[in-house]
Amino acid sequence: MIAGRPGHSVRLCRIQERSNPLQACKRQRGKAVYAAATTSAPSAPPRYSTQPPAGGSKYGGKTVVITGGSQGIGRAGAQRFSREGFNVVIAARNPALVEAAAEELAAAPSARGRAGASLGVPTDITDEADVARLVERVAGTYSSVDVVVNCAGVCVTGSLSETPLAVFREQLDVNFLGAVAVTQGFQPALVAAAQRGAKPVLANVNSFVGKIPARQMPAYTASKFALAGWTDSIRPELADLGIHVAQIYPGVVRSNFLERAGFLGEGGPARRKQMEEMLSSGGGGIVQTPEQVGDAIWNAVAQRKDEVSVGLPFQLLGAMYKTFNINPLSMPV
């Protein structure tokens, strides 16, 4: 998802150095560290892999594609769709994590030994060629795509003066434009599903920061507002084609997102520690689990909801901001 490409090495900052992503970017400039890992086809299929049946046929049944499906919210969503009988395609940047997640689904009781129950495809969603390979792999393996869940994302905090323009571009690439690329890639498959009489759904996983702007998070907030506006914009257009569009807004989630998050500036380490303490303590009941959000994604898809805000505290915050223009997230931290 955030692999480097020649001329685009800034994306490496999130994985090379958590406390100072910008410095890591400088050290890695010009090096495509992950390019080979995420864009080259494996020499042999992983143990869980389900190659298309002989004779050019494909696996049937309902299929969901989930980006960011190897960890956290995406993985919990993948597990929920698997329990509901879907074939699950997991797309994420780390090949080892993708394989582990897909193997887990293939071995789950819900798979019932079904051929094609899961498929893992290492994918950098900011690379158009990688997304095209994902679309091609899915099209060659499954007879239909019924649901696409855009769940990949990464968080960066820091004041405006501490956030380089390159980080703004990076946040937009991953949190917004990656979803656009994946959606455009799978739109023909979703249209084809609608024409066959199915009820396909596009589900975009946003953040409560896509509803309520947050202090010290200008780049992340901008990317999530972009995702929110784009999702609302395409909803009527895709509805005309028989595709429902849902948007899910999680709150603060106890997952491993801190492994990829960036905390910029002098106050970065303190903000990281504050977040770690909140996740550890539960934040007075406001911290959510990946499974809660995974269930919310499923419910939004199954019930064809336009929008779901996860958790009562964040529903109330959204209502306060929308109705009274009161924003607790703008207070000093």
Torsion of CA 299, 301, 303, 307, to 10 degrees: 80
How does DSSP assign 286-330, residue by residue? T-B-HHHHHHHHHHHHHTT-SEEE-SHHHHHHHHHHHHH---GGG
As a whole number of angstroms, the distance between CA 224 and CA 211 comes to 8
Per-residue DSSP letter, 173: I
Does this model's pTM top 0.85? My answer is no
As a whole number of angstroms, the distance between CA 46 and CA 68 comes to 19
- Supply 302's token pair: 């199954």
Across the chain, the runs of DSSP E, i.e. the strands, are 63-67, 87-92, 118-122, 147-150, 156-157, 201-205, 244-249, 262-263, 307-309
Show me where the domains of the chain are located: 9-330
The confidence score (pLDDT) of residue 213 equals 93
- Cα–Cα separations (whole angstroms), residue 30 to 10, 251, 314: 9, 36, 41
Helix axes 128-141, 178-195, angle to 10 degrees: 30
56 torsion bin: left (phi>0), alpha (psi -120 to 50), beta (else): left
What tens digit of pLDDT does each residue of 284-332 get?
778 889 999 999 999 999 999 999 999 888 888 888 888 888 888 887 7
The confidence score (pLDDT) of residue 107 equals 92
- Supply 162's token pair: 């501490």
Spatial contact of 264 and 163, defined as CB atoms under 8 Å apart: yes
Radius of gyration of the chain (CA): 19
Task: Give Cα 68 distance to the centre of its chain.
Answer: 4
Angle, alpha carbons 231-232-233 (nearest 5°): 90
What tens digit of pLDDT does each residue of 64-111 get?
999 999 999 999 999 999 999 999 999 999 999 999 999 999 999 888
The confidence score (pLDDT) of residue 272 equals 84
Domain 9-330 top-level CATH class: alpha beta
- Of 177, 174, 151, the closest CA to residue 70 belongs to 151
Contacts of 185 (CB under 8 A, 6+ apart): 131, 132, 134, 135
As a whole number of angstroms, the distance between CA 191 and CA 241 comes to 6
As a whole number of angstroms, the distance between CA 112 and CA 206 comes to 32
Helix/strand/coil for 186: helix
In order along its 333 residues, the chain shows pLDDT tens digits of 333 333 333 333 333 333 344 344 333 333 322 222 333 444 334 445 555 666 778 999 999 999 999 999 999 999 999 999 999 999 999 999 999 999 999 999 888 778 899 999 999 999 999 999 999 999 999 999 999 999 999 999 999 999 999 999 999 999 999 999 999 999 999 999 999 999 999 999 999 999 999 999 999 999 999 999 999 999 999 999 999 999 999 988 887 777 778 888 888 888 888 887 877 887 777 888 999 999 999 999 999 999 999 988 888 888 888 888 888 888 776
The confidence score (pLDDT) of residue 234 equals 98
